[in-house]
A and B are shown apart, each in its own frame.
Chain A
Amino acid sequence: MSAATEAIAVERSAPKPQGAGMVRQVLTLVRRNLTHIKRQPEMLTDVTIQPIMFVLLFAFVFGGSIQIPGVDYKAWLLPGIMAQTIAFSSFIVAIGLNTDIGKGMVDRLRSLPIQRSSILISRSLSAIIHSSIGVAVMSVTGLFIGWRINEGIAKGLLAYGLLLLFGFAMIWVGILVGSAMRSIEAVNGLMFTTIFPITFLSNAFARTDVMPAWLRTIAEWNPISSLAQAMRDNWGIAGIPVRADAPWPLHHPELATLIWSLAITLVVAPLALRAFNARTTD
């Protein structure tokens, strides 16, 4: 068969655009999102340079004046910064989604014969991969400053698993914010003035038991605190035991993280889907 007739045969047989299988759709879109990172490596600064900078700043600037009995502050700090980084996966989703909506990319995708949910699923997976790169970078950084997994592989992985679980819950927050805000600047403004302080009002960077009572209550109920506590417990770097009169979540940090993640998902996901549909339909 000559090249020309072959070309015609391909031409006739190929266009049966039934829409790809959903897995192919999601993978195609994830690859597209990851190509963005490859083309603009500076997109990764939020999960690489920024957390490393935090680790170093806190560990060496404040480290001398913050004492955690029974453990080196630098090792203790690392899970706190990981929890903060994973909370920021909501930020990554919000920025990516808002950009795609604003530039009409979501409309183009919606005009194709694809499962519309693959738009959100791929955004979420890309953000988790993005954040995971940060967690990996921080783990390596941690090895240099004395952080170790001391309680064995199973518990070590459990901590990472809880981290990812919480990340998936926070992604719904990102879908909500990314769909509801009208510009990238608005997304930036809202996320910086909410998620950023929320991650600080916790045990991520400092002990809660020396905080004023009202602040301590807020900090100890903060899901970031349960998550950081769960990682510290399972990596064997919690230092002093949790106070007897500390609230329930700090005594059961794994379960508390699970419940927080489910609760955030159950409350925010319907709002997020409604916001996304309202923004992208009509």
Chain B
Amino acid sequence: MSAPVIEAVDLVKKFGDFTAVDGVSFEVPQGTVFGLLGPNGAGKTTTVRMMTTLATPTSGSARVAGHDVVAEPEAVRASMGLTAQAATVDDLLTGRENLRLIGDLYGLDRRFVRTRTDELLERFSLTDAGDKIVKEYSGGMRRRIDLAVSLIAHPAVLFLDEPTTGLDPRSRVELWDVLRDLVRDGTTLLLTTQYLDEADQLADRLVVIDHGRIIAEGTPLQLKNQSGAASLVVTVSRHDEVERAADLLRGVVAGDVHVDADARKLTAPGGDVSALARIAADLESAGIDVDDLGMQRPSLDDVFLALTGHKAEESSNQEEVTA
């Protein structure tokens, strides 16, 4: 495998007595999406700030596109784009002016900046809004122009700090599509998120980070498998058949069957495909109608809860130092 495009080795960041990042290491191959998943205050933003030369590591090292973040910060900045947690675009400039501002600062050819601006506005469905000042944009549009600005110089590496926080579901899905396009074109993405579905949707590999430490890593599927096998889930049509169905299910799987009588839903952990086939046959011969029948893998939410003892959207540290 080729050398990683992003590499962190034992990164540590302390603010006084508080250790925000406590020995984080990972590698991201070219053209892949790497997720840093964790609750508020877990150390995700601080990690990104070190990778993007905005903060100096207390110890450890990191390389982006082959350049050391401490020794060659200029080279790192020239090869990456950053979309920070709060959309940092200039409210009083138009979308087009924002793109030009950053393009000019990169020292790009003016003619190129014009072409690229049109191309990016088009790609992010902002052509009509390009000459409006950003203050008048919706939240989703702000996010899109913010991302467009980060892409003006074709960065090989893109850092995205909670790119969809505060977006409505439709805007999130649209942004995910754009990010997938970028990866298809060879961009390497590192994104932080506290949303498990987002990591599940986008990341090729991810680490779960809590209190500044990596507590798990792997592909989304590996992480889900880690926290247990799939379950069989049956939803019966009639309330008075819940108990009969539960008895049938107990005959098929070894473990306890969880019964949610109100929802007419039965969950049995430890099921596999043959168990699924048997319960389907048993339910049919018993004449029990079902609304839904299937296998369910644990969600990343389950994984997170199992790993940390708290839910992902809760803060891991009440005294978080915002840096």
Contact = CB atoms under 8 A, between A and B. Distances in A.
Interface of A: 7, 10-11, 13-21, 24-25, 28-29, 32, 35-36, 39-40, 103-105, 107-114, 281-282
Contacts, number: 99
Contacts of A110: 53-54
14 contacts: A7-B115, A14-B112, A19-B105, A20-B106, A28-B105, A40-B92, A104-B84, A104-B86, A105-B88, A107-B84, A110-B53, A113-B107, A114-B105, A282-B56
A93 B80 CA distance: 30
A108 B93 contact: no
Interface in B107-134: 107-109, 111-112, 115-116, 133
Contacts of A17: 78, 106-108, 153
A25 B102 CA distance: 10
B82 A108 contact: yes
Nearest to B146: A108
The 7 closest A-B pairs by CB, nearest first: A20-B107, A14-B112, A104-B88, A17-B106, A113-B78, A113-B77, A28-B104
A105 B86 CA distance: 10
B81 to A, nearest CB: 8
A103 B87 CA distance: 9
Contacts of A20: 104-107
A113 B74 contact: yes
Interface string B37-74: 00000000000010011111000000000000000001
B82 A109 contact: no
Contacts of A10: 111-112, 115
A35 B92 contact: yes
B323 interface: yes
Interface of B: 13, 15, 49, 52-56, 74, 77-78, 80, 82, 84, 86, 88, 90-93, 97, 101-102, 104-109, 111-112, 115-116, 133, 153-154, 323
Contacts of A108: 82, 84, 88, 102
Given A107-B54, A111-B52, A282-B55, A15 B84 contact: no
Given A14-B112, A19-B105, A113-B74, 4 more contacts: A17-B78, A17-B107, A36-B92, A282-B49
A32 B88 contact: no
B159 to A, nearest CB: 9
Contacts of B74: 19, 113
A112 B104 CA distance: 11
B107 A24 contact: yes
Contacts of A36: 92
Nearest to B58: A282
A112 B106 contact: yes
A108 B53 CA distance: 11
B133 A18 contact: no
A112 B88 contact: no
A14 B109 contact: yes
Nearest to B156: A15
Contacts of A21: 107
Nearest to B74: A113
B108 A14 contact: yes
B74 to A, nearest CB: 6
A107 B85 CA distance: 11
Contacts of B97: 32, 35
B71 to A, nearest CB: 15
Contacts of B102: 108, 112
A13 B108 CA distance: 10
Nearest to B83: A108
A16 B153 CA distance: 8
A18 B52 contact: no
Given A104-B86, A108-B88, A15 B53 contact: no
Nearest to B55: A282
A42 to B, nearest CB: 12
Nearest to B15: A282
B115 A111 contact: no
Given A19-B78, A39-B92, A108-B84, A25 B115 contact: no
B56 to A, nearest CB: 7
B116 A14 contact: yes
A207 B138 CA distance: 56
B56 A111 contact: no
Contacts of A113: 74, 77-78, 106-107
Contact of B93 (A16, A35, A103, A112): A35
B82 to A, nearest CB: 4
Contacts of B49: 282
A15 B115 contact: no
A7 B115 CA distance: 8
Contacts of B154: 11, 15
B68 to A, nearest CB: 15
A267 to B, nearest CB: 28
A11 B116 CA distance: 8
Tell which of A15, A21, A111 has the most Cβ of chain B within 10 Å: A111
B133 A112 contact: no
A32 B55 contact: no
A107 B106 contact: no
B107 A19 contact: yes
